[in-house]
Structure 1
Amino acid sequence: MTLAMSWDEWAGHDALGLAERVRQGEVTPAELAAQASAAIAATNPALSAVVEVFDDVVADPLKDGMNPRGTFAGVPYLMKDLGPTLKGRLQEMGSLLMRGNRAAADSHLTGRIRLAGLNIMGRSTTPEFGCCSSAENPAVYITRNPWDTDYTTCGSSAGTGAMVGAGVVPISHGSDGGGSIRIPAGVNGVIGLKPSRGVFSIAPGASDLTGLVSTQGCHTRSVRDTAAFFDSCRGGAPGEFMPYWTPAEPYVELIQRDPAPLRIALSHEWGDYRATPHIAAELARVGRFLEGLGHRVDWALPEVDLRAAFAAQTTCYISNFAQTITNLIAPLGHERPPADLVEPVNIRIWEAGRTMSFTERARMQAVFNTTARGFGAFFEEWDIILTPITALPTPKIGTREFLTISDNPSVLDWFGNLWRFFSYTPLANLCGIPGISLPLAAHENGLPLGIQAQARQANDGLLLQLAAQVERAIGGKWNQGGVPKVHVTRA
């Protein structure tokens, strides 16, 4: 097959760059889709990051209603196999239980993505029901890190992180209920922004009241692609419970200007959790870099009961996932999750959460409130808080303590392992505030380490503005200009 461009050329373009070539008549959406399909074929045997390619949409990008006049003009896009649905397409949620499950309708966000001109041409991998730090069950698939395939991509936007990191597609779907956009972005060396509440719809299957901590987004390799995705895809569906807001200025315009000097707090000590010395040193180094850009940087932490906040977050996950699993097994005729089709920790979560009382949820929500107020007060004094994306190095494949195939009998202890590692991302979901992971640091073994910036609610644009300033300062060379071992330019 003759491809439209060389792999160096392909990987050198971001999504908006490819869209511009379509508009100039240099390439067609079908040629872009064919190139992305070839990239998947070249890299997926090593990474196991794509569940399915929609060959009919590769052949005809207009088949499912993609708007070729949209911002992205037919750029290929993968949908995480969880969350927004595609009418008539499989959505199996990383689970043996859901094999063969087909969606009856498009989600609202699916329509927004297609209207933006993104060609949804396949499904990327995710852990079972998104409840895990890694898409890693040998009975389903094991998604591997393109920088070193002995290591995990983390999750739950596992396949998306690997495919964007490996240069296969410039933009792909992610979702985030506790760090699931930001963590795999940080681990795979790409950009991942978790939005504030009130940006992306989760209709019709859920709402801000029922989803509570979960939100949608994307992974990209350029700040302007993320900005354009937010500009194009935001907005609520009819009947949404909360108002969906729009910034005063499109983000693609905002990011062309540097922010005014910012008050940036650094922290890697969150309650009971601490980063390793190397990770703490990388955070401090990035802080000094930001000082060099004219920002005021110091060490500070919100005055909140972080131990109580993590306990409330755990209660939220146990009760939410228990109800999710109940809603999935009931139509299949099961009274409880089948042990041969649902992973062990998810069964234990269901057992722990299925009878959780309103009183327990009310206590949880009270802690959500006090935590959000504490962060709110903090952001009256500081514009940004900067943390590492994880407190510990990226695990190797097979590190079972973080997996839902773990034999840990205690759900609370299992979640405690997650928080010890993913210490800095979950509370943004609890508070509804934005957080972005930027590929600015590295672990001692050279694997990418994302640095996370968080801001007050609805200050997503400020995070993008800071990210764009950084991107200009480093000449666009995220990860110091390096590329993974598994990459389209090396295929």
Structure 2
Amino acid sequence: MRLDEYVSHDGTSLARLLARGEITPRQLGRCVEAAVAAVNPALNAVIELYPDALESLPEAASATPFGGIPTLTKDFPVEAGRPAEFGSRLAQGFRAAHDAVYWTRLRNGGLVNAGRTTSSEFGVPAATESPLYGATRNPWNLQRGVAGSSGGAAAAVAAGIVPFAQGSDGGGSIRNPAAFCGLIGLKPSRGRVTGSPNANAPLLGLATAFMLTRSVRDTAALLDLCHGPDAGDGYEIVAPAQTYLDAMQRTPSALRIALCTTAWSGVRLDPEVAAATRSVAERFASFGHHVEEASPDFDYPAFLHAQKVIWAADAAAHMPAMARHRGRRLEDALGPSVHALYRWGCGIGGAELIEALAVYDRVTRQVGRFLAGYDLLLTPTSAIAPEPIGTFDPNRAGIDADGVFDDLAPKETFTALFNATGQPAISLPLGRSGDGLPIGIQLVARFGREDLLLAAARQIEEDIGEAPGIWGQGHPATHAGNF
């Protein structure tokens, strides 16, 4: 299979070719290797490929939904024994001790972990410009960034290296890279994808893992494979009534959709982002859905302070253990942004953390009551288009905890809320800036309604038709199909 052929397929299409014996997993592995060689020197998205994984790819497909398709995982603990360095000098040499349970389900469904992708340091900055591996560049314009923290995954999928890649989202870390690279990025509901063996959902419930994709059907099929609790989880989300692949195909009608283009943080919204969001609202209205401007009402400053407390307390709790494990000093090994968050977190007391969680509970009730009146909420994913690399340099000297969150605001003002409240949210590649950069549009549903998100996304995907590239965008300038 030639690279220009390989990149034209999503994962579902490749799985069908595998099932028919028209290609083999071994051939797909060679395509991944060739794609990395072609585009990664420009992108810096893939840290390494795993020779043992590629060499063990068979000459026949497995009897699984995805048949042995190679993919990539983020530089976080995913698969036992694999490096997981969090984009940080502090964690250099660290390896995952256990398989993530959701990953065992994906692996049993036919995915092969062929390598790892870059991340921002410990997933904190919304710019994949880590002290350990440097900046990851956007395939659409190599002078622009890919957001974070799953930036390497997004760049790799957009550039055609793999049809989908694993990421995680604690404040927008799947959705913003998807938006910046012209992909689909779903953050499932809290508890839909278990964080076992370590937690129901990491980061005190804020974070979840999933995949960045090029098609809604891949998103649905991957969620079908990996959703559900693990034995011992402290709570269990209600299971879907049908498969997500089936739900995706149920065309929704007469939805009530709230449109919000006012940033809750007060950050300035790029006019091109606002225009793209309104254009999507008009498209939904043309399908017969009712769209009206509305927004949840909540205390954003209190929410933001609670977010700072929770993130900083988590850093203070976990960084010393990594430092002891690797035999390094935090002061020497952590980048400035993460070290600033850690230092601030060391001064947080138990009462302040409990109050932060109480704020999150109040905001969750307010957002839940708002969404009870609507089927979907439509917002931009990020308030800005992809910025030049270095604009929000997480490694600059003198940054403090407030500065860390000031850097996050343009990207996470519309996304982090739903990590706090737990609703599912998806970024869709539905806009372009005047200079050709992707703009992502976010849809949010009520808790547990990934089925509706996928059905609404599929309705738009079908409307776009068969134009070249992902959702008719064409291909980015740096793309494996060009080689």
The alignment's TM-score, normalised by the length of structure 2, stands at: 0.95
Report 1:252-401 matches (<5 A): 252-271=245-264, 272-334=266-328, 337-339=330-332, 341-399=333-391
Structure 1 position 475 matched with structure 2 position 471: no
Question: For the structure 1 residues 408 and 301, does the alpha-carbon distance in structure 2 shift closer, same or farther, using more than 3 Å as the test?
Answer: farther
Structure 1 position 145 matched with structure 2 position 110: no
What is the distance in 1 between the residues matched to 2:321 and 2:342? 11
- Amino acid of the residue matched to residue 58 of structure 1? L
SS at the partner of 1:114? helix
Deviation at residue 209 of structure 1 after TM alignment: 7.0
Question: For the structure 1 residues 408 and 454, does the alpha-carbon distance in structure 2 shift closer, same or farther, using more than 3 Å as the test?
Answer: farther
Maintained 8 Å contact 1:131/1:404: no
Range that drifts further, 422-431 or 196-205: 196-205
Question: For the structure 1 residues 479 and 26, does the alpha-carbon distance in structure 2 shift closer, same or farther, using more than 3 Å as the test?
Answer: closer
SS at the partner of 1:273? coil
SS at the partner of 1:148? coil
Question: For the structure 1 residues 138 and 172, does the alpha-carbon distance in structure 2 shift closer, same or farther, using more than 3 Å as the test?
Answer: same
What is the distance in 2 between the residues matched to 1:324 and 1:62? 39
Maintained 8 Å contact 1:264/1:383: yes
Which consecutive unaligned segments of at least 5 residues does structure 1 have?
none
- Amino acid of the residue matched to residue 175 of structure 2? R
Question: For the structure 1 residues 256 and 105, does the alpha-carbon distance in structure 2 shift closer, same or farther, using more than 3 Å as the test?
Answer: same
What is the distance in 1 between the residues matched to 2:294 and 2:343? 39
Partner of 1:155: 148
Partner of 2:46: 50
- Amino acid of the residue matched to residue 62 of structure 2? P
What is the distance in 2 between the residues matched to 1:123 and 1:439? 24
What is the distance in 2 between the residues matched to 1:198 and 1:281? 34
Maintained 8 Å contact 1:127/1:135: yes
Alignment counterpart, residue 453 of structure 1, candidates 443, 460, 463: 443
- Amino acid of the residue matched to residue 224 of structure 1? R
Alignment counterpart, residue 409 of structure 2, candidates 404, 419, 431: 419
CA deviations over 1:229-282 (Å, ceiling 9, x no partner): 000011222211111432011010111121122111111213323412222111
Deviation at residue 34 of structure 1 after TM alignment: 1.5
Range that drifts further, 318-327 or 16-25: 318-327
What is the distance in 1 between the residues matched to 2:358 and 2:41? 47
- Amino acid of the residue matched to residue 36 of structure 1? V
SS at the partner of 2:406? helix
What is the distance in 1 between the residues matched to 2:347 and 2:218? 43
Question: For the structure 1 residues 209 and 163, does the alpha-carbon distance in structure 2 shift closer, same or farther, using more than 3 Å as the test?
Answer: closer
- Amino acid of the residue matched to residue 341 of structure 2? I
SS at the partner of 2:90? coil
Taking only aligned residues, the RMSD between alpha carbons, in angstroms, comes to 1.9
Deviation at residue 471 of structure 1 after TM alignment: 0.3
Range that drifts further, 31-40 or 424-433: 31-40
Which consecutive unaligned segments of at least 5 residues does structure 2 have?
none
Partner of 1:78: 72
- Amino acid of the residue matched to residue 267 of structure 2? Y
Alignment counterpart, residue 14 of structure 1, candidates 10, 14, 36: 10
Alignment counterpart, residue 181 of structure 1, candidates 174, 177, 195: 174
Partner of 2:427: 437
Partner of 1:104: 97
What is the distance in 2 between the residues matched to 1:209 and 1:215? 7
Maintained 8 Å contact 2:26/2:58: no
- Amino acid of the residue matched to residue 78 of structure 1? L
Percent identity at matched positions?
38
Question: For the structure 1 residues 67 and 88, does the alpha-carbon distance in structure 2 shift closer, same or farther, using more than 3 Å as the test?
Answer: farther
Question: For the structure 1 residues 226 and 476, does the alpha-carbon distance in structure 2 shift closer, same or farther, using more than 3 Å as the test?
Answer: farther
Alignment counterpart, residue 209 of structure 2, candidates 216, 228, 244: 216
